[in-house]
């Protein structure tokens, strides 16, 4: 679905970032240009106060489908419970898996939704639900949460792209199509393996004066081009240069080696620990939406051994991140979500594995707008069904938006056609909102 650039759409009526996702990454990597709009003097660093009041989002995506029974909704001693025990948390009466001891100590800053039924066991489709709040529908593509947040919460003057995706390996993470009708500028910019984008420094042979002259020339050409052929894509394309320049001005954020040893140890000196620390630096540095993908949880075989390994890595890093956000005064303005595309079967298969299970699983939320320590939803004794407060991706999206202070019942407009921000058949999970 293409957006008309001059339709008076929601996009143009709202404050938005000057920098774009998606194609922006291309500019950072040296993609040829049509031109660029002015970065402007206002693109300086946000003041601390402003930064702290800005709403932001941290999404931790446990790719492949983390087991709810080995994380947020353990069933020890039951036929389906597996070998792990449940441990108490910092919230009296709330227990989670013993694989998450550090996270358990942060439970008073988090909340659990234990009654999710997304009814979709396919990786791609499940992921779509959890990223857009909608099931796949013919004829329309809904924007991912990161793109929506980039658009609605982002600051036009911020030098960082609104939607950053820290990927576990090299490549990936930049997919402009995630922004759907919002336009590619709101797509994610991939941060491969948490490393600064390539070519982030100005080429050595280029003086600042020559660079400025080059930028000015490009801007003039861009302006002439855009005057005649302005579309969302061309606009996004030209703005990739502003985004690249913004990233260049913030390249210090990617350099985590200057952090104290104690903090580096606490986050963990492995990839995910490094990515968590980077996410905090990016959020603190003005990013609106940071997604970290941790892989892989698709444990059809040896579910328990692999969850020890994967959650062992996740637990301490994530708990440190929550604590660090709190200590820096950012937690109250940062919505945290730990999600997957689905959970895993209560039944333990012949390979000591668990398969895909979307009928009864859990996510963890926390921070901005979320009631600390809340637990909503309940599954039965063997974890096979939701028995209380069943919700789906639509409910979660209403909850996210409400937690961020956005009216989830508003619409986007495409050519004056209203597109509800969140599935109108669902409501926020009010019990978990602060």
Partner 1 sequence: MMPDEKKKEAAKKDAPKKDDSKKGPAKPEVKPAPPYPGWELDAPKQVAECKHGAGLLGCWFDPTGKWLYTSGQDNVISRWDFVANKRADLAGHGSWVKSIGFWPGKNLLVSGGYEGQLIVWPVDGVQPEPLRQVAAHNGWIRAVAVEATNGMVVSAGNDGEIALWQLPNLTPVRRWPGHDCHVYQAAFRENGKEIITADLKANVRVWDTATGKLLREGKPVAALHKFDAGFAADIGGVRAWGVNGAGDRLACAGITNVSNAFAGVGNPLIQVVDPKSLKVLQEHKSKEAYQGTMWGVAIHPAGFVLGVAGGSGGMLWIWKPDQAEPLRVLKQPDNIRGMALSADGTKVALAQVNGSARVLNLKA
Question: What one-character DSSP code corresponds to residue 137?
Answer: B
Name the minimum Å distance from CB 60 to partner 1.
15
The radius of gyration of the chain's CA atoms, rounded to the nearest angstrom, is: 22
DSSP letters for 361-417:
EEEEEEETTB-TT-EE-EE-TTSSSEEE--B-HHHHHHHHHHHTT--TT-EEEETTE
Toward partner 1, which CB reaches closer, 271 or 427?
A: 271
If one asks whether residue 83 binds partner 1 (CB under 8 A), the answer comes out as yes
Percent helix, percent strand, percent coil in the chain, to nearest 5 = 40, 15, 45
Distance CA 10, CA 122 (A): 32
Toward partner 1, which CB reaches closer, 271 or 323?
A: 271
Which of 296, 332, 382, 390 is the binder for partner 1 (CB under 8 A)? 296
Name the minimum Å distance from CB 186 to partner 1.
29
Q: Which of 307, 364, 297 is nearest to 84 (CA)?
A: 307
If one asks whether residue 390 binds partner 1 (CB under 8 A), the answer comes out as no
If one asks whether residue 190 binds partner 1 (CB under 8 A), the answer comes out as no
Which of 132, 215, 310, 408 is the binder for partner 1 (CB under 8 A)? 310
- Give the tokens for residue 317: 């890093």
Which of 351, 405, 424, 430 is the binder for partner 1 (CB under 8 A)? 351
Distance CA 434, CA 431 (A): 8
How many residues at the interface with partner 1, by CB under 8 A? 27
User: 429 with 113: CB under 8 angstroms?
Assistant: yes
Name the minimum Å distance from CB 275 to partner 1.
12
Name the minimum Å distance from CB 25 to partner 1.
23
Which of 105-113, 305-313, 323-331, 424-432 is the region at the interface with partner 1 (rule: CB under 8 A)? 305-313
If one asks whether residue 407 binds partner 1 (CB under 8 A), the answer comes out as no
Which of 295, 332, 380, 390 is the binder for partner 1 (CB under 8 A)? 295
Query: 């910019």: which residue's tokens?
Result: 189
Q: Which residues contact 370 (CB under 8 A, 6 or more apart)?
A: 110, 111, 335, 336, 403, 432, 433, 434
Name the minimum Å distance from CB 361 to partner 1.
18
User: 145 with 396: CB under 8 angstroms?
Assistant: no
Helix (H) or strand (E) run with residue 110 in it:
strand 110-116
Distance CA 329, CA 320 (A): 14
Name the minimum Å distance from CB 296 to partner 1.
4
The binding track of 238-277 with respect to partner 1, each residue x by CB under 8 A or -, is ---------------------------------x------
- Positions in 131-170 near partner 1 (CB under 8 A): 168
If one asks whether residue 348 binds partner 1 (CB under 8 A), the answer comes out as yes
If one asks whether residue 61 binds partner 1 (CB under 8 A), the answer comes out as no
If one asks whether residue 52 binds partner 1 (CB under 8 A), the answer comes out as no
> Is 249 exposed, middle or buried, given 0-12, 13-18 or 19+ CB atoms closer than 10 A?
middle
Name the minimum Å distance from CB 297 to partner 1.
9
Residues interacting with partner 1, by CB under 8 A?
Answer: 64, 76-77, 79, 82-85, 168, 271, 295-296, 298-302, 305-306, 308-310, 348, 350-353
């Amino acid at each position: 679905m293409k957006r008309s650039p001059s339709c008076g759409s929601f996009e143009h009526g709202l404050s938005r970032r000057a920098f774009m996702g998606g194609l922006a990454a291309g500019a950072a990597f040296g993609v040829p240009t049509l031109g660029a709009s002015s970065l402007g003097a206002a693109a300086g660093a946000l003041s601390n106060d402003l930064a702290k009041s800005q709403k932001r989002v941290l999404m931790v995506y446990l790719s492949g489908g983390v087991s709810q029974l080995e994380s947020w909704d353990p069933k020890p001693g039951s036929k389906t419970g597996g070998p792990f025990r449940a441990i108490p948390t910092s919230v009296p009466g709330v227990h989670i898996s013993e694989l998450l001891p550090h996270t358990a100590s942060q439970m008073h800053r988090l909340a659990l939704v234990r009654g999710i039924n997304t009814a979709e066991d396919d990786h791609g489709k499940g992921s779509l639900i959890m990223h857009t709040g909608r099931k796949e529908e013919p004829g329309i593509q809904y924007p991912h949460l990161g793109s929506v947040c980039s658009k609605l919460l982002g600051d036009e003057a911020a030098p960082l792209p609104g939607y950053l995706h820290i990927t576990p390996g090299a490549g990936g993470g930049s997919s402009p199509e995630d922004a759907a009708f919002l336009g590619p500028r709101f797509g994610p910019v991939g941060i491969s393996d948490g490393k600064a984008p390539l070519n982030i420094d100005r080429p050595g042979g280029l003086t600042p004066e020559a660079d400025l002259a080059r930028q000015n020339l490009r801007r003039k050409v861009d302006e002439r081009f855009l005057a005649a052929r302005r579309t969302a894509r061309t606009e996004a394309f030209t703005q990739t240069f502003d985004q690249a320049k913004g990233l260049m001005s913030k390249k210090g954020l990617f350099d985590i080696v200057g952090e104290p040893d104690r903090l580096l140890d606490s986050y963990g000196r492995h990839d995910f620990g490094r990515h968590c620390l980077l996410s905090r630096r990016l959020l603190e540095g003005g990013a609106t939406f940071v997604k970290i993908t941790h892989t892989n949880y698709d444990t059809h075989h040896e579910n328990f051994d692999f969850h020890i390994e994967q959650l062992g890595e996740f637990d301490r890093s994530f708990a440190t991140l929550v604590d660090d956000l709190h200590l820096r005064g950012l937690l109250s303005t940062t919505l945290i979500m730990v999600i997957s595309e689905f959970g895993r079967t209560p039944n333990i298969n012949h390979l000591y594995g668990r398969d895909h299970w979307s009928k009864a699983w859990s996510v963890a939320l926390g921070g901005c707008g979320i009631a600390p320590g809340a637990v909503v939803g309940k599954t039965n004794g063997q974890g096979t069904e939701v028995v209380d407060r069943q919700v789906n991706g639509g409910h979660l999206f209403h909850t996210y938006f409400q937690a961020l202070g956005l009216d989830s019942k508003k619409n986007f407009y495409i050519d004056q056609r209203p597109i509800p921000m969140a599935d109108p058949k669902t409501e926020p999970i009010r019990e978990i909102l602060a």
